[in-house]
Structure formats: structure tokens, C-alpha cells
Structure 1
Amino acid sequence: MHARRLLTGLVPLALVAATATACGDDEKTSVSDSGKRLDKVTLTLNWYPYGEHAPFYYGKKQKIFEEHGIDLEIRAGQGSQKTVQATGAGRTDFGWADTPAVLAGVDQGVKVKSLGVFLQTTPASVQSFAAEGIAAPDDLKGRTVAGTAGDALTKTFPIFLEKNGMDVSDVEIQNTDPAGKIAAVISGKTDGLLGYASDQGPTMRSKAKKDVSYLRFSEHGLNFYSNGLIAGAKTLRGRGDLAERMTQAVSEAWAAAEKKPGPAVAAMEGASGQLPPKDVLSEQFRTTLTLLHTDATKGKVPGANTEADWKQTIDVFAEAGMVKNPKSVTEYWDSVKGIEG
């Protein structure tokens, strides 16, 4: 009798456990219109949506992610550093972040790895109105440039100057909040800004109705990896082959968007209340497409990396002081779950 009561008492608990498991599964999965079971996946961007992010929206619209069993939710970010931290803490399944922030995060113990850098030529640049006549590094002597203390651009700028025979004292850096750099140039408070060619420049041109010129670091002796796909330990270890499927889907989305940039940008409609105008989005994405490869990865699919390019990037940021204890490439890049070229 006691055994029967015990068994009877266990039945509701088993049902509760089964129900809880089912609810947990429902929270992590959805069903497509065709009846396919999909994994719900969150991707947090490096910033509010701008032209660079078109492939994610295009891939979603073209059901590329769905083909890989993924129901993708794209979230706005508030800077690569915060995205790295959120990804490492498991608050988002995947992140889209600048490689310097990934290196610094790992250096500080954040459990996150890159699954592949997609912007392999840095968009880092000095941007100014063409009328300023800043066409070569030497033209920066005696100028004032807006920069943000501690970020990758400001940390690598001295290396850029050194590679071009200059000293950091040749240029005055005016410490400026990231959101205020464009206004500083437009108002004439600075002669230029440190920014990304795929981001601020097109916006500055659109707002001021003036041509913008760029001194790209990559064209003057200094290149390093920029934005890519990242995942935290929880995603890498706990959700089967999700990381491989996500990486493959992102690569295919970028390849598809590269072939059809117009429709890719159009897919961003309604992505954010802060979305730049369409002409700015288009210019941002056109510039982004010039950043997809290094000499070592030309001809390979988007997101295919090499150990040598990773090593070069690590060395640059060790020199810049953003990486105190440089580690082996495998500590930053999960090539097993990444893209095979």
C-alpha cells in the first residue's frame, strides 16, 4: 500500500517534469510555415542597425537562416565591448563584434570565441571633408582629430602614424564621445575624426552635403581584423551543432547579399527607428563589401579566416596595449566550428 501511494505520488511530479521540459523546448524552438522545427536564435549586433548589417536582414528575408534550422532574432547593440560581454554571459546566443573587443574580452577572462571574422580589412580611417585637403598621412601634421579615449581606433592610431614616419605629437586628438564625433567635424571643432569608412563617413557626407575623404589605415601600412561572428561557451558547448549551422548560414547570407546589394539594403526597411537614410545605407554597404578579404582569403567564402591573419591582428593589439597577455590563435578563434574556405 505504501509502495502504491509512493508510485501514485510520483506520477504528477513526472508530468510536471515532462511539461517543464516541453515548455523549455518550446521557448527555444519554433515551427516554420512549412512545418519545420527551428531553433530560436538571438544575434546581438555591435550597434544600432546600419548598412554593414544588411546581410543578416537579407538572409532572414530569403530564408537562408531558416534553411539551416534557425529562427533568427536580430537585436541592436550598444558597442562591441557590451556585445562581447553579453555573448560571454549567455544573454545572447551570438554576437557581431569588432575583433579588438573580442581580444580584450578574452584577455580579461570573458568566455567568448570568434567563429569567423567577416570584415578582414579594417575600415579604420581618418575621415575629413575633402576640402580640408587631407590626402596623405603627412597632411595630418598640426591637425586636430576627434577620437574616443581607449577605443581600438585611438589605440592603433599611434601605430598608424609611426608606420608613416610620424609621431603621435604631430596630431592633436580631441577626446570625444562616439556619438559626437561627426558633429565635431561638421561644426569645425576638429579637422577630422577617427572612424570606420563603412559607418561614419557616409553619414557625415549626407548630413553636411559635402564630399568626404578617407585615410584608410589598411592603405597606409596597417591592417587588422574587424567585425565578425562570436559565441559564448554556453552556445558552443550546449546546443549541439547550432554554432556550425549559424556560421554557415551567416556566410551564405553574406555571399547572397554581396551578389545583390540593392535588395540586401532594401531588406533592412523597418529594422530600426534610428535607421540611416537609404542612400547612406547603400554607401555603407558598398564600402563594407570592400572589406571582406585579405590577400590570403581572396576567392574564399565570406568568413573564412587564416591563422596568419589572426596572428597579425593579435600582434597589432598587443603592441597597442589592448591585449596584455597575448594567447595562441585557438584561444580567440574556434576554427573547428568556423568556416572551411
Structure 2
Amino acid sequence: MRNPTRATVLRGAALGALGLFAAGCSRHDSATGDAGDRSLTFQASWINDAEFTGYFVAIDEGYYAEEGLQLEYVSGGPSVIPESSLLSGAAHIALTSPDTTVSAITEQGAELVVVGTQYQRNPLGVVSLAASGIATPADLVGRTVAVPDVNRLAFEAMLTVNDIALDGVSVVPYAYDPTPLLNGEVDATLDFVTNVPFTLEQAGAAASSFLLYDAGYRIPNDTVVVTRELLEDRREDVVAWLRASRRGWEANLADPALYPPQFMDTWFEGTGRTLENELFFNQAQKPLVEDQAGIFALTPESIAATIESLALVGLTATEDMFDGSLLEDL
């Protein structure tokens, strides 16, 4: 099962590493490249699963090549810190989360900028058994919820936004194992709604869930981040990457059942996940990725909501940390 909070778990280590990179790097040869070089290295935020299907489609269908880009895809994992990959010059573009990016900028002076967001609505949410009747934040009053320590502030921020007293909900630690939920030891867990409901259903239990995002804690996820240096030197290449990636996601989400079977022996090989799980994930993420403003949309309204929500967990973000103008050129 994927750990939905890997970026935050690694935040302390990431900031230490970023401090070294931010202090010692001003220009990166691998980021700027030679004249005429249109190669890009893309750092994913986690291991290869359905979360990145749109990019796999764009690679296999030749969308990046059609833009004149030579793309190198690098999978993520529990030891990968996307911001460090960017600042060291190991990657040009990375998927990460706004909290770690803003922390790197404000606490370490990292020259990073968010240029798009894959998940318009963060997959992190409250998961329960349908029989519990939990459908809204108000339904959590008097209940016991298992919450990872690293997500405690986000969960409490959601309660605060909904005028729910923090002592009105019993919070216990969560080890990313839904067994206590299945056994009735807790009423709900905080986890990715794109995956855990599948695990519960495989155990014969109907699941229910709601997103922290929909409950007022409006933080996106898998934000597309680059260095300001790259944006200045190779803006058109970043736009081309966004355009090809959008095509890949549009093709994938047009029929979420089409591509996962094709990738089981290639992109998804070795994850230990079943085809049924990847199909569930791909379908579940469709409404989280799509947006009326287009895939990767980064609007003034969404930026303002992100800044406001980050403030609830003690992070001070500003508008200049985001740049949605590239999407106007797609």
C-alpha cells in the first residue's frame, strides 16, 4: 500500500539536503543544457503505479517526441526527495507537494516555482466503512479516527475549517493498515481514497470516503515544480512538456480501463499490485485530475485557496511561488 504522506515524512531530511543545494547551486549544467539540447529529465514522486499513467501514455504514444523533447522518466520512491533532485540538477521537472516546496522556498531560499498541478483535488481523505454512516466532517464528532502523525495538522485544519472542536474527535495513530478499520477498532482512517477503498472492498466491506480538499482543506497534490532558472532559460520546453503530458492524461482518462492492462508487464511491472487495483486507482483519480480549466490547471482561485490552506498548518506561501501563465500557451 502506498504511503500517502511520504513527502511530509521526509520533510525534515529534505530541508537539510535542500539547504546544501540552495546554498551551493546557482546554475546547473544539466538543467540548462547545450544550445539546441531539448532533453528533459522528469522526476516522479512515487513508484510506478496508476498515479502516473498519463505520463506513461505520453511516452509510449510519442507525444513528447512530437514536441521535439527527449524525455527521461525517473520513478520515485520512499527515499526520493523531488526538490533535491531539482536543485542538484538531477531533474528538470518534478512532481511533489506544495507543503514541501513552500517549506524549501521559505526556510532554505530554494529558487523553485509551481507551474501546474496534476491532482486538482488531493486524494487524501477520510475513509470509513459504508455502514458507519460517515459522509461529512460533522459525522466524525464522537468517533475515533486513525491519522498518520505527519497528517495530524492537516486533519485538525480540516476540523477547524468545519467548526468542529479538536477534542470532539478521538485521534489515534495510523500505520497505513486498514485492518483496525475492518475490525471495528476505529471508525475511520486518513488515507488515499484512490487506493484504500479498493483494499476494503477486496476484504468484502463496502467503503465510504470524503476528501479533505472537499471538506475545506484545499491543498492540491503532485504539483509540477521547476527551478526558476529552468523557467527563465527553457520556458518553451516546459510548456512543451506540459502540452504533451496533458495529451497523455486526456488520452488515459478518456477510457481509464484502456491503458493499465497494457502496462502491467512494462511500466507497472514489479509493484506487486494487481490489474484490478490499478484499474480502480485510474478510475478513482479521474475526477481528481480533470478540471474545467484543463488538466494541470493553476488558476488564481486555486492558488489563493492553496495559500489559505497552507496558512492553516503554519506555512506562509505567496503568489510568486506559483506561475500558471505557462498553461495559457498550451
Q: What is the rounded CA distance, in whole Å, between the counterparts of 1:275 and 1:302 in structure 2?
A: 29
Shift of the 247–148 alpha-carbon distance from structure 1 to 2, 3 Å rule, reads same
Q: How far off is 1:273 after superposition?
A: 1.1
Q: Report the more deviating stretch, 112-121 or 271-280.
A: 271-280
1:1-341 mapped onto 2 (5 Å cutoff): 39-78=38-77, 82-108=81-107, 109-151=109-151, 154-177=152-175, 180-186=176-182, 188-206=184-202, 208-239=203-234, 241-269=236-264, 270-271=266-267, 272-293=269-290, 298=292, 300-321=293-314, 323=315, 325-327=316-318, 329-330=319-320, 332-340=321-329
Cα contact 1:261–1:286 (8 A) shared by 2: yes
Q: Report the more deviating stretch, 304-313 or 66-75.
A: 66-75
Q: What is the rounded CA distance, in whole Å, between the counterparts of 2:173 and 2:80 in structure 1?
A: 19
Q: What is the rounded CA distance, in whole Å, between the counterparts of 2:306 and 2:79 in structure 1?
A: 17
Q: What is the rounded CA distance, in whole Å, between the counterparts of 2:133 and 2:142 in structure 1?
A: 13
2:307 partner SS? helix
Q: How many residues align?
A: 296
Q: How far off is 1:120 after superposition?
A: 1.3
1:126 partner SS? strand
1:220 partner SS? coil
Q: What is the rounded CA distance, in whole Å, between the counterparts of 2:178 and 2:154 in structure 1?
A: 20
Q: Which amino acid aligns with 1:192?
A: A
Q: Which amino acid aligns with 1:201?
A: P
Q: How far off is 1:194 after superposition?
A: 0.9
Q: What is the rounded CA distance, in whole Å, between the counterparts of 1:57 and 1:66 in structure 2?
A: 13
1:261 partner SS? coil
Q: How far off is 1:232 after superposition?
A: 2.5
1:8 maps to which residue?
none
| Greater radius of gyration (CA) | 1
Shift of the 314–240 alpha-carbon distance from structure 1 to 2, 3 Å rule, reads closer
Q: Which amino acid aligns with 2:131?
A: A
Q: How far off is 1:82 after superposition?
A: 1.8
TM-score by length of structure 1 reads 0.76
Which stretches in structure 1 are left out of the alignment for 5+ residues? 1-23, 30-36
Q: How far off is 1:339 after superposition?
A: 4.4
CA deviation string 1:220-254 (max 9, x = no partner): 34433222221124533455632121122112211
Q: What is the rounded CA distance, in whole Å, between the counterparts of 1:339 and 1:274 in structure 2?
A: 36
TM-score by length of structure 2 reads 0.78
Q: What is the rounded CA distance, in whole Å, between the counterparts of 1:266 and 1:103 in structure 2?
A: 37
Q: How far off is 1:183 after superposition?
A: 4.6
